[in-house]
Amino acid sequence: MSLQETPSLVPTQIELPLQRVACDEPFKETAADGFVLGGFTWRHPARDAARPVVIINAATSVRCRHYSRFADYLFDHGFDVVTYDYRGIGESRPASLKGLKASWTDWGALDFEAMLKRVQREFAGQPIDVVGHSFGGCAAGLGASGHLIRRLVTVGAQFAYWRDYAPAHRWRMFAKWHVLMPLVTMVCGYFPGKRLGWLEDTPAGVVRDWSLSTARYENRSSGRAISTTSGQMPFARVTAQTLAISISDDPYGTVPAIERLLGYFTGSTNAHLRIHPEDIGEEEVGHFAFFRSPYQATLWPIALAWLRHGELAPDTPGRRMPRS
């Protein structure tokens, strides 16, 4: 989700270490409802039960290839890594999006859950960590097997409640994502984001979830279906050490938006790190830049340290936000 065009999704070729024998290996995985998902695996040649494997959950309608350089980085620092596309996007796109059953809840409860099951099978016994960007952080709480997650890092993670948008951008964003996007979707049967230069083409059910103006996820179009009989959402199953990273100039990832989502992870030990661009010597960062290679030396080590140790280094840039 962004006010600007989605960044280039074709990874630049970089020089890779010689010891790699299986990197960026494509795979197909079938979700519980039979939908076939596509993704990529970064796998070290020797199995090591102590080596964590990281699943990267993408932002809404961003292809998993956008995270390839970050996956390379984690691989180079000793992790196995899995990236994948949600149904309807990139490697998981069918011939037509018209009539495709796909919602935010499907992306989490079916697609992310399929990745948890795949990793549990393919990397048996290894710790499972997750990195979630934007909606990808929300998706991490929607899988039935969320209890398997050891550590979770989210970046700008929220579920697009419009009143949480940055005040300076709020009404323009509301018009774009909550008025124009659903209207175009109604006409086309899906959202043709690529033609508009906004996002990847997006299934209508996802647009419906995104554009609905409600502060509670369980009141979204698809969220009502996954509340338990006690009214509890599946987020509570996640007991991971969780770090939420937010950037001060991200118009989506405001403090209220981050805290709104973190409030669902009631079973986790949660921390919220708020970073201003000037903390890392930059003028702006925004919603997407965290995963771009120029931030390898300044932002990526924050996520790496949390995945390794479940804590922030003393010299970590930014401010640790107090939790209510």
Q: What is the mean pLDDT of residues 32-60?
A: 97
Tell me if 11 is assigned to some domain.
Answer: no
Q: What was the pLDDT predicted at 231?
A: 59
Domain range holding 106?
25-320
The pLDDT tens digits of the residues spanning 200-215 come to: 999 999 999 999 989 9
Q: Is residue 139 part of a domain?
A: yes
Residue-level pLDDT at 14 = 39
**Domain-embedded: residue 16:** no
Q: What is the pLDDT of residues 77-132, one digit of tens each?
A: 999 999 999 999 999 999 999 999 999 999 999 999 999 999 999 999 999 999 99
Whether 304 is in a domain gets the answer: yes
17 falls within a domain: no
Mean pLDDT, all residues of the chain: 92
Q: What is the 3-state secondary structure (H, E, C) of the chain?
A: CCCCCCCCCCCCCCCCCCCCCCCCEEEEEECCCCCEEEEEEECCCCCCCCCCEEEEECCCCCCHHHHHHHHHHHHHCCCEEEEECCCCCHHHCCCCCCCCCCCHHHHHHHHHHHHHHHHHHHCCCCCEEEEEECHHHHHCCCCCCHHHEEEEEEECCCCCCHHHCCCCCHHHHHHHHHHHHHHHHHHHCEECHHHHCCCCCEEHHHHHHHHCCCCCHHHCCCHHHHCCCCCCCHHHHCCCEEEEEEECCCCCCCHHHHHHHHCCCCCCEEEEEEECHHHHCCCCCCCCHHHCHHHCCCCHHHHHHHHHHCCCCCCCCCEECCCC
Range of weakest confidence among 4-18, 122-136, 225-239, 288-302: 4-18
User: How many domains is the chain built from?
Assistant: 1
Q: What is the CATH number of the domain that holds 309?
A: 3.40.50.1820
pTM assigned to the model? 0.92
> Is residue 249 in some structural domain?
yes
**How many percent of the chain have pLDDT more than 70?**
91
Q: What local confidence, expressed as pLDDT, does residue 223 receive?
A: 85
13: in domain: no
